Structure 1
Amino acid sequence: MSLSAPCPSPALSSSRAERGAAARGPAVRGPAAQVAQTCDVDEQAALLQGWNQRYEQLSAGSFEGRVTSLHLGPIQAWREFSSQALHQTGALRAGQLAIGLPSSIPGNTMFCNRSCSEGHAIVFSGDGPFEFVSPGGLEIIDFVVDQGSLDPYLTACEREQLQAQLAQPHLRPVSAHERWRLPILLSDMQQCLADTTPDTLPPQQLDEMASDVLAAIAAVLRDGVGSEADEQLSYQRRAHIVSMARERVVATGADGSLTVEDLCQALAVSRRALQYSFQEVLGISPQSYLRAVRLNGARRAIKQGSSVSDAALAWGFWHFGRFAQEYKALFAELPSHTCKRYR
């Protein structure tokens, strides 16, 4: 199902890893990463495969460019640097969508005749061409996915609201939290590849990686989507929503696969209503609550004899260093210390 198709409620049986596997594709054994240096704008444009892109240099001086690319099945990611101001034109393949996030805005930046600021995400979508004027010294990350692969990470209501918005390339306001989530993910993915060879990464680790990328892209797209009615719920109604959500989490069982999207569909509430309810009743977001459930599950698995890495993967944590940080933040000890105490 794509964002342009009718939007019935999805089944709640697929796990995070299964959703990531569906996006990653069965033929991919591991992500491939490359770093390329260029001294010509045409060489730089050619490195972004599938964009049908053309660069024109606007500022004077020799050109220096760099593209770090990472492919995880149909998910493609780039970190691109250009030393000179450029006029970029192009179009994505049909059915694809890309999110661009500049690290900073060092000068005049225009996208499709609109001024771009650091509070914007650049959305390359729809069938129309795009036009991008970028300043010298710009570094930007781009993630490209098949648009339909985002469906499991959006509610039916969100897909309906986004359908018209994604018909054309555009700038999208984005919160600081969501703005930095994708760059951090890209850095974590690159670190995983630096620590090991791609073909030795377990398939489940790759699937969780893909799932986190798709969830982060969906979060950028839906940032700000909602209605004012979500803010008018009484405390009793919000407490009831939280109670039903916790019952759903318990009933799902011990794999941590339940997502915020699943809760919204199961409880027939919007994401914003769920967010406000958890924040008022428990003082945390539903995403933080589900992450705490997964961390607690991993802790129990370690106490019962699982290795730290097996427990992390079983509960959806593919970056072991970040898992250790989040584990320590919640439990005031590293997972390795828990492991030693219960052996």
Structure 2
Amino acid sequence: MTASDGRTFTDIEDFVDAVRDARIMLVVTSPGVFWARLAQLTLPHLHLLAVSESLPRAAYIALSPEQVCVGFPLQVDSSSVWCGVRLQRGHIVFHSRAEHFHQRTNGPAEWGLISVDPQRLAATGLALTGQELVAPPSGRILRPARRDIARLLRLHAAAVRFVDKHPKLLLDPDVIRGMQHDLLEALVGCLTSEFESHSDGREGHQRIMDRFEQVLAASSDLLMTVPQLCTNIGVSERTLRACCTEFLGIGPGGYLRLRRLRLARFALRAGRSTSGSVAELA
């Protein structure tokens, strides 16, 4: 099946609901007018998206276990931070299956994601390199050769232009077959690069932040304090503050306030509150 979609969103809930292959908890961390431009293209064995966002934000993302995903910044001066590591143009993140991770931006951002059927990626890797390509046990940052990443970014940008300007051409099976073949070949070239290690304390902090999100998701107490949260996670306030600053760009208290505001807005938008209980919800 082939499908394309290009839209601009001013509502956060509509935006995150439209992103395929991921569940996203997103909070905007700076005042201003939020908008996001999302272009998506679905090919028989591959799905790609390109995102432009107007404001800094923090997000906790859960990827689909059904696909192998690769993410990368699209702008030259990248503001994207994955699990506390700032990404540069030329970096790609080779995600594990069903990975949960924090991604934040420090300003307006442009980023892309390609998700691939695991069997097709393995078969393409075997055909081109003699080895099956499988997702790593945990996410890795790769820095491919300049020509390899340049080719992938060029093909990704061309596919996005098709979504915007030539959607009818995507009905041509030869165009679809050629586009998918080129993208898969370029992706394999990038994924066979050496990975860059950024493990200095990141894995331990990642476990703390995963537990942080799990406690928040499981709790019915929206007014939980930072000390209560630290007790439930089993870390000191100082450690949690350092992890949140690294992964989210803000402290735990600020993140809790923004998260509550988003949940309250979502409840009001979904009609879960009558006019008599708006003050109570607030």
Q: TM-score, normalised by structure 1?
A: 0.50
Taking structure 2 as the reference length, the TM-score comes to: 0.60
Q: 1:101 aligns with which of 50, 72, 97?
A: 72
Task: For 2:194 and 2:60, locate their aligned partners in 1 and report how far apart those are by CA, in whole Å.
Answer: 28
1:185 paired residue number = 155
The structure-2 alpha-carbon separation of the partners of 1:59 and 1:106, relative to structure 1 and needing over 3 Å to count, comes to farther
Matched, 1:170 2:125: no
1:96/1:125 contact within 8 Å kept: no
Percent identity over the alignment?
19
Q: 1:33 and 1:86 mapped to 2: Cα distance? A: 26
Look up the equivalent residue of 1:40 and give its one-letter code: D
Aligned twin of 2:20: 49
Gaps of 5+ in 2: 196-282
Matched, 1:213 2:188: no
TM-superposed CA distance for 1:220, in Å, is 1.3
Select the structure that is richer in strand. 2
Deviations 1:222-261 (A, max 9, x none): 0238xxxxxxxxxxxxxxxxxxxxxxxxxxxxxxxxxxxx
Structure 1 residue 129 and structure 2 residue 100: aligned? yes
**How many pairs were matched up?**
193
Structure 1: state its 5+ residue gaps. Answer: 1-27, 226-343
- Consecutive aligned runs of 4 or more in structure 1 exceeding 6 Å deviation: none
Task: Report the AA paired with residue 147 of structure 2.
Answer: H
Supply the AA of the counterpart residue of 1:217.
L
1:138 aligned onto 2:112? no
Mapping 1:65-80, distance limit 5 Å: 65-80=36-51
Structure whose alpha-carbon radius of gyration is higher:
1
* 1:286-313 deviations in Å (ceiling 9; x for gaps): xxxxxxxxxxxxxxxxxxxxxxxxxxxx
Give secondary structure in 1 for the equivalent of 2:112: strand
Which whole-Å CA distance do the structure 2 matches of 1:91 and 1:103 have between them? Answer: 21
1:34 partner amino acid: D
* Aligned ranges 1:1-343 → 2 under 5 Å: 28=1, 31-104=2-75, 106=77, 108-155=79-126, 159=131, 163=134, 166-191=136-161, 194-195=165-166, 197-198=168-169, 200-201=171-172, 203-224=173-194
Distance 1:108 1:189 in 2: 23
Q: Whole-Å Cα distance in 1 between the matches of residues 166 and 53 of structure 2?
A: 28
Whole-angstrom distance in 2 between the partners of 1:200 and 1:127: 31
SS of residue matched to 2:31: coil
Confirm or deny: 8 A CA contact 2:73 2:87 kept in the other structure. Answer: no
Per the TM alignment, residue 191 of structure 1 is displaced from its structure 2 partner at its CA by 4.8
Write the distance in 2 (CA, Å) between the matches of 1:179 and 1:57: 30
